[in-house]
Copies of this chain bind each other. A is one copy, B any other.
Amino acid sequence: MKIGIIGLGIIGGGYAKALIKYGYEIYGIDKNTDTIEYALKENLITKGYTDGSDIISNLDVIFVCLYPKDTVDFIRKNQNRFKKNSVISDVSGIKRYISNSLIYEKEDYEIVLSHPIAGSELSGIKNSNEAIFHNSNFVICPHKYSTEENMKLIEILAYQIGFGNVSYISDLEHDKILGYTSHLTHAIAMALVNSDPQESKTEMFIGDSYKDLTRIANINEDLWIELFEKNKDNLIKHIDNFINELDMIKLSLRNKDSDTLKSIMNKSSNQRCDIDG
Judge whether A245 is part of the interface by a CB distance below 8 angstroms: yes
Q: Is the CB of B217 within 8 A of A272?
A: yes
With contact pairs A167-B204, A177-B205, A195-B244 given, residues A210 and B185 touching in the complex (Cβ less than 8 Å): yes
User: Taking the nearest CB of chain B, how far is it from the CB of A9, in angstroms?
Assistant: 16
Interface size in chain A (residues, C-beta < 8 A): 90
Give bound CA distance, A214 to B213, whole Å.
8
Cβ contacts under 8 Å, A173 to chain B: 199-200
Identical copies of this chain, number: 2
Please report which residues of chain A, range 261-277, place their CB below 8 angstroms from some CB of chain B when the two chains form the complex: 261-262, 264-269, 271-277
A225-260 interface code vs B (CB 8 A; 1 in, 0 out): 100110010011011111111101110011010100
Q: Is the CB of B239 within 8 A of A250?
A: yes
Judge whether A17 is part of the interface by a CB distance below 8 angstroms: no
Q: Is the CB of B236 within 8 A of A254?
A: yes
With contact pairs A217-B268, A253-B229 given, residues A117 and B245 touching in the complex (Cβ less than 8 Å): no
Closest to A262 in B: B221
Cβ contacts under 8 Å, A219 to chain B: 265, 268-269
Q: Is the CB of A243 within 8 A of B246?
A: yes
Cβ contacts under 8 Å, A181 to chain B: 202, 205-207, 210
